Amino acid sequence: MEFVTGVRKTDTSGIRELTKEGMEGACVRVEGAVHAIRNMGEVSFVVLRRRDGLLQCVYEKGKTDFDIRKLREASTVRVEGMVHREERAAEGVELCLTGITVLSEPAEALPLPISKWKLNTSLEAKLNMRSISLRNVRERAKFKLQEGIVRGFRDFLYSQGFTEIHTPKIGAKGAEGGSNLFRLDYFHHPAVLEQSPQLYKQMMVGVFDRVFETGPVFRAEKHNTKRHLNEYTSLDLEMAYIDGFTDIMAMETGFLQYTMELLAKSYERELHMLGITLPDVKQIPAVRFDKAKELVSGKYSRPIKNPFDLEPEEEVLIGQYFKEEYGSDFVFVTHYPSKKRPFYAMDDPADPRFTLSFDLLYKGMEITTGGQRIHDYRMLLDKLAARGMTEEGLERYLDTFKHGMPPHGGLGIGLERLTMRLAGEDNVRETTLFPRDLGRLEP
Amino acid sequence: MEFVTGVRKTDTSGIRELTKEGMEGACVRVEGAVHAIRNMGEVSFVVLRRRDGLLQCVYEKGKTDFDIRKLREASTVRVEGMVHREERAAEGVELCLTGITVLSEPAEALPLPISKWKLNTSLEAKLNMRSISLRNVRERAKFKLQEGIVRGFRDFLYSQGFTEIHTPKIGAKGAEGGSNLFRLDYFHHPAVLEQSPQLYKQMMVGVFDRVFETGPVFRAEKHNTKRHLNEYTSLDLEMAYIDGFTDIMAMETGFLQYTMELLAKSYERELHMLGITLPDVKQIPAVRFDKAKELVSGKYSRPIKNPFDLEPEEEVLIGQYFKEEYGSDFVFVTHYPSKKRPFYAMDDPADPRFTLSFDLLYKGMEITTGGQRIHDYRMLLDKLAARGMTEEGLERYLDTFKHGMPPHGGLGIGLERLTMRLAGEDNVRETTLFPRDLGRLEP
């Protein structure tokens, strides 16, 4: 009988190994995709693309059995060679080739110049050929940073006693109710795609006290803007036994601090490649919704049109104000009007026209919505009634509150937006792996 | 201006803190839900349920201002008290109460006896009242273990150079094609819910070499069994530069080894609570599909009806065989018939009726399907043609291969099934937070 005993030691090397002390002159084997070939006559340079970076390989006539003219870009290869320190090479080392084995070949030449440092291709073309355009190392670096953000979110929350949950995406009713829901037929029952794990994470906060989820959410909004998606990844948390919604803001600030440190430590290469300076998150200013409107109105001579609404231009100006006055890329805007928040939001007892809630703006764009939730069963029923909403489809949610719930609150972070702001992109599609919008369902 | 500076130090304690050396006699504050109240006359015991366990509190008349008769189960409270070592208490300590503050109260009494050690309630009732039944600490422990499995999967794969990705769940076409797809209207375009991230993770393997995703998948199958769900969490990985599909099995074995260690180390309390002994995964036997059928047929005197199909009963017997003969709960069954695998599976050059693929059985149930994929563009076109499939909807996927792809393979693990087997449950709904099946869309 054969047995599988775990990951086998490989006889191939990664780039990091080649750059180690004492590797000069070592003979190694490396696998990768042929990213670029530059023929200089007697010598050719073959750049290999691997998950850990680009490796320059030097081909000299007569040193291998392989005819370099037969090598094509986008082939994948296994090469043998001798490690040579070379300051001018991307990784500080190059490989003097002694052998090349082709593992696979393309059927056609590449449609995009992916080996260029900056891929000056339209967003539309990049998205149409997503799996090709991301072979450009700067394009893919954005998604490596995105990984770091999600990883930071989870690892920080584990350290804070949160439990990860997986809630269903097909449901009988959406969290915020009403419109903007994708509808489907579920074995002859009407169903929707969940626009948020909101109701489920609240139900679970009575079980684990602190829960989080990182998963897809679906919004059938007919927005066609640079910052809206119809499907995105939401980083959600919900926590019990809070003293107020500032506990949630404190937790988010902690997450940002942890994650920026993680990125600085473990994603240094990607940050460098994209020329990103991480934002300072030691302290984040917090300002009331109405106060923020006043500040912006005063400084930028802009009349307040509607005291209960925040226009996108106002968001941008609030961001600008706090950058100019306090040097902060982030600002918490608190106490949003009750009308603008869903039924489960806790109204401010001091002034019920506003809620105990917040948004986090990053460079003038909302990346988080959060706040304290109603935990009292009767208060919840009253709020539903006041809004003219029925309990239909909410029975199980309401039962949870009927049988006791701790004071709690939470938040949802749009992963692609956070990445977009961090990477300094101006369209959220740039930091979405395979975007779904009004006009895009493929790839 | 106010600033948020990160997570604040709390003045409340967790149970672990109370059990530390030198805490005897300390005055502490603890928050939790009232899990059970036992009135013994002069003394009452109040059990608090927290995310970190159950804490026994002792109420003595006259020691607090609070009237214990007013305390109700399922209320949430903040209590003050003195730490007292008590061998007989669940955590080895109890709290002698000096104060009780009620934070919230239930509107109605609990519908389930959640404070019982074993919740002897029907599965149907447990699922209907999911957010209540999971307040039973043994019920919720299963989902803490599930967290550990996902965490192990990710952390192990990070250490192996994998990149986490987030692929869309709404698509134009499903991975396996054909039936079993939930359909929806996407802004007047026909769309489906992805039954697997298969095509996307393959496309991304040309970018990052090694990728993984943990997310929901959707299957509109009309199965009504103890092991089928219509939405579940899939742990997916895909890796390039493999020498063969055994590399994938080796990676999965590595994941299982890493995860069992993580569970033993960090989820000891849950394992103990559920009486789970972790399986031995030092080595996992691997057997060919046809050979497995023969072995089972021989040992259990069962004629082989169809050499190209594996019946559920045969899976169970294969599991039994390898438990009896080799003491293993796991067995890799390799070389599945080509007809039973999707178009992207690589056929075995030695016998194209079979594929370079595998399933992993755990106690006689399939928890993983994996294998090597076709990476050559023309071979892929030929396979599609041979199956009478069109390229429609697969254009972007096929383009990826047109422009070169490394040899690669991968797998998908059903999270709920793996948890079910680990926890010794006989219905996958027991280890699914909010199951979706033919008859269940709520809660």
Chain B CB within 8 Å of residue A210 CB: yes
pLDDT classification of B254: cutoffs 50, 70, 90: very high
Nearest C-alpha neighbor of A239 from the set A407, A15, A389: A407
pLDDT at A176 over 70: no
- Which positions in chain A touch B182 (Cβ < 8 Å)? 170, 184-186
pLDDT classification of A392: cutoffs 50, 70, 90: confident
Q: Quote the percentage of chain A above a pLDDT of 90.
A: 91
CA atoms of A330 and A253, how far apart (whole Å): 10
CA atoms of A250 and A247, how far apart (whole Å): 5
Tokens of B369: 């399907």
Q: A4 CA to chain B: closest CA distance, Å?
A: 5
> Which pLDDT belongs to residue A309?
87
Pairwise CB contact (< 8 Å): A51 & B285: no
CA atoms of A96 and A84, how far apart (whole Å): 7
**Residues 6+ positions from A388 with CB-CB distance below 8 Å:** none
> Which pLDDT belongs to residue B175?
62
Residue pair A12/A31 in contact by the 8 Å Cβ criterion: yes
Chain B CB within 8 Å of residue A298 CB: no
CA atoms of B431 and B130, how far apart (whole Å): 12
Kindly report, residue by residue over A79-108, the tens digit of the pLDDT.
999 999 998 888 899 999 999 999 999 999
CATH of B15-104, one of 3.90.550.10, 2.60.40.420, 2.40.50.140, 2.60.120.260: 2.40.50.140
Kindly report, residue by residue over B327-369, the tens digit of the pLDDT.
999 999 999 999 999 999 999 999 999 999 999 999 999 999 9
Tell me, what's the ipTM? 0.97
3-class secondary structure, B53: strand
Kindly report, residue by residue over A255-273, the tens digit of the pLDDT.
999 999 999 999 999 999 9
- Which positions in chain A touch B396 (Cβ < 8 Å)? 128-131, 442-443
In eight-state DSSP terms, residue B177 is -
The dihedral of CA B305, B306, B307, B310: what is its sign? Answer: negative
- Considering only CB atoms, A166 lies closest to which of B191, B203, B233, namely B233
- Considering only CB atoms, A1 lies closest to which of B109, B209, B326, namely B326
Residue pair B216/A215 in contact by the 8 Å Cβ criterion: yes
The interface residues of chain A toward chain B in range 317-346, judged by CB-CB distance below 8 A, are 326, 332
CA atoms of A340 and A346, how far apart (whole Å): 12
Pairwise CB contact (< 8 Å): B182 & A183: no
Residue of A31, A149, A166 to mutate when probing chain B, most B C-beta within 10 A = A166
Q: Quote the radius of gyration of chain A (alpha carbons, Å).
A: 26
Nearest C-alpha neighbor of A154 from the set B200, B10, B152, B251: B152
Calculate the alpha carbon distances from A153 to A332, B144, B196 in Å: 18, 18, 25
pLDDT at A415 over 70: yes
Tokens of A22: 């004492």
> Which pLDDT belongs to residue A393?
85
DSSP letter string, B374-387: ---HHHHHHHHHHT
DSSP letter string, B182-212: -EEEETTEEEEE-S-SHHHHHHHHHHHSEEE
Looking only at Cα atoms, what is the longest distance across chain B? 84
> Which pLDDT belongs to residue A177?
64
Higher pLDDT pick, B406 / B86: B406
Chain B CB within 8 Å of residue A403 CB: yes
Pairwise CB contact (< 8 Å): A434 & B200: yes
Chain A CB within 8 Å of residue B242 CB: no
CA atoms of A327 and A332, how far apart (whole Å): 14
Residue of A nearest to B205 (CA): A131
Chain A CB within 8 Å of residue B405 CB: yes
Chain A CB within 8 Å of residue B386 CB: no
Q: Quote the radius of gyration of chain B (alpha carbons, Å).
A: 26
For strand A330-334 and strand A284-288, is the pairing parallel, antiparallel, or unpaired? parallel
Matching CATH topology for A15-104 and A137-431? no
Chain A CB within 8 Å of residue B185 CB: yes
In eight-state DSSP terms, residue A431 is G
Kindly report, residue by residue over B178-227, the tens digit of the pLDDT.
679 999 999 999 999 999 999 999 999 999 999 999 999 999 999 899 99
- Considering only CB atoms, A167 lies closest to which of B52, B107, B433, namely B433
Chain B CB within 8 Å of residue A226 CB: no
For strand A183-186 and strand A189-193, is the pairing parallel, antiparallel, or unpaired? antiparallel
Residue of B136, B207, B400 to mutate when probing chain A, most A C-beta within 10 A = B207
Chain B CB within 8 Å of residue A2 CB: yes
Kindly report, residue by residue over A112-155, the tens digit of the pLDDT.
999 999 999 999 999 999 999 999 999 999 999 999 999 999 99
A137-431 maps to CATH 3.30.479.30? no
Across the range A393-419, mean pLDDT stands at: 96
Task: Kindly list the domain boundaries of chain B, sorted by start residue.
Answer: 15-104, 137-431
pTM of the predicted model over 0.95: yes
First and final CA of chain A: distance in angstroms? 43
Tokens of B87: 């061998």
CA atoms of A201 and B215, how far apart (whole Å): 16
Other beta carbons within 10 Å of B301: 7
Q: B207 CA to chain A: closest CA distance, Å?
A: 5
Phi, psi of A113, rounded to the nearest 5 degrees: -80, 70
Pairwise CB contact (< 8 Å): B209 & A376: no
- Considering only CB atoms, B404 lies closest to which of A105, A220, A254, namely A105
Pairwise CB contact (< 8 Å): B207 & A172: no
Residue pair A28/A84 in contact by the 8 Å Cβ criterion: no
